[in-house]
Amino acid sequence: MVDGMYGAQPSPGPNTKKCSPTVQKQQQQQAENADGGAGKKKKKVTAAQLRVQRDLQELTLGSTMKMSFPNPDDILNFTLTIEPDEGMYKGGVFHFSFAVNQNFPHDPPKVKCTQKIYHPNIDLEGNVCLNILREDWKPVLNLNAVIVGMQFLFLEPNASDPLNKEAADDLRTNRDAFKRNVRSSMAGGSVRSVSYERVLR
């Protein structure tokens, strides 16, 4: 940033115009999409709504996932239900609330597990540790990417970077004991004196 930035910009570039067209003048040059009429008072579909409408349409849910919309007109808030058909969490029914704000897709959706479950990557408050929900979120990612990531958490719980440290330690040190803990927690039992919600189908 020292020498290169001295002096004026190399060329005046497209940013200077010899004359200063008025706004109206410019506008005459662009005549397409002509439109008029009533209805100005009605609110426009927001960018976030539009993006979610598209994202929903492009979802691939498979047989293990369902969504429900408490208010079908509000597509920014919904529940995702995952029923893993393989892996250690098979037989469970897991609910996640999705809250998408108006700053989507600049902001990621907020996802929380609504049940108290025993899982290394989900804490007792329902917080979910999934990279694309936080540090690796990019506006080009869509809801499908999130849902795929969520599903993966149940097939391959990740012990290496946990939110529930006890569960992760169990998974790491004794996989069989962890499996037993998953079964009993899903049935509404206690693990290490923490009681969990029954989530079996």
Partner 1 sequence: MADAFPAVLTGPSSKERRYDRQLRLWAATGQQALEDSRVLLVNSDGTFGPQSTGVAGVAGVEALKNLVLPGIGGITIVDPATVTEVDLGVNFFLEAESLGKSRAEETCRLLRELNPDVQGYAYSKPVSQLLQDPNFLAQHKLVIISGPTKRSTLQAVCQEAKNLGIPVLYTHSVGFYSMFSLQLPAEFPIVETHPDPESTQDLRLLNPWPELIAAGTALGDLSSMDDHQHGHVPYILLLLHFIEQWKQTHAGKPPSNYKEKTEFREFVRSQARTNTPEGGEENFDEAVGAVMKTISPFELRSSIREIFAMDQCQQLKPDSPDFWIIASAIHKFCEENKGLLPLPGSLPDMKAQSADYVSLQNIYKAKARRDVDEVTATVRQLETQIGRTAPIPEREIEVFCKNAADIKVVRGRHIPLLSEDSDAATTKTIRGGFALDDRLVAIYVAFEILDAVVSEVQSIADTENGGDQLRLPNIEDEELWTKHTDRILKVLARDTGTDIPPEQKDILEDAMWELRRTEGGELHNISALTGGLVAQEALKVLTQQYVPLDNTCVFDGARSQTAMYRL
Partner 2 sequence: MSTIDPQARWTYLYKALSKNGPLTDEDWEFGPETIATLESSKILVIGAGGLGCEILKNLALSGFKDIHVIDMDTIDISNLNRQFLFRQADIGKPKAEVAAAFVEKRVKGVKITPYVGKIQDKDEDYYMQFKIIICGLDSIEARRWINSTLIAMVDMENPESLKPLVDGGTEGFKGQSRVILPTLSSCIECQLDMHAPRPAVPLCTIATIPRQPQHCIEWAYQIAWQEKRKDEPFDSDDLEHISWVYNAALERGEQFHIHGVTFQMTQGVVKNIIPAIASTNAVIAASTTSEVLKIAASCNPYLDNYMMYAGEEGVYTYTFQAEKKSDCPVCGNLARKMEVDPNVTLGDFIESLGERAEAQLKKPSMRTEEKTLYQRFPPQLEEQTRPNLQLKLRDLVADGQEIAVSDPAYTIDFRYRLNFK
- Binding stretches for partner 1 (CB under 8 A): 5-12, 15-16, 152, 156-160, 172
Nearer to partner 2 (CB atom), residue 33 or residue 193: 33
Q: 84, 64 in Cβ contact below 8 A? A: yes
Nearer to partner 1 (CB atom), residue 9 or residue 57: 9
From the list partner 2, partner 1, none, partner contacted by residue 75 (C-beta under 5 to 8 A by kind):
partner 2
- In whole angstroms, the minimum distance from the beta carbon of 65 to partner 1 comes to 19
Q: 104, 51 in Cβ contact below 8 A? A: yes
Structure tokens at 91: 């037989």
From the list partner 2, partner 1, none, partner contacted by residue 162 (C-beta under 5 to 8 A by kind):
partner 2
Q: Is 129 in the active site?
A: yes
- In whole angstroms, the minimum distance from the beta carbon of 8 to partner 1 comes to 4
**154 contact partners, CB below 8 Å, separation of at least 6:** 82, 84, 87, 88, 89, 92, 94, 119
- Among candidate residues 172, 148, 174, the one with its CA nearest the CA of residue 160: 172
**93 contact partners, CB below 8 Å, separation of at least 6:** 81, 82, 83, 199, 200, 201
From the list partner 2, partner 1, none, partner contacted by residue 8 (C-beta under 5 to 8 A by kind):
partner 1
- In whole angstroms, the minimum distance from the beta carbon of 163 to partner 2 comes to 5
Cα–Cα distance measured from residue 198 to residue 184, given in angstroms and rounded to the nearest whole number: 9
From the list partner 2, partner 1, none, partner contacted by residue 4 (C-beta under 5 to 8 A by kind):
none
Q: 79, 114 in Cβ contact below 8 A? A: yes
Q: Which of 76, 129, 132, 194 is catalytic?
A: 129
Nearer to partner 2 (CB atom), residue 13 or residue 193: 13
- In whole angstroms, the minimum distance from the beta carbon of 89 to partner 2 comes to 19
Helix/strand/coil for 35: coil
Question: What distance, in Å, lies between the first and last C-alpha atoms of the chain?
Answer: 62
Just list the catalytic residues: 129
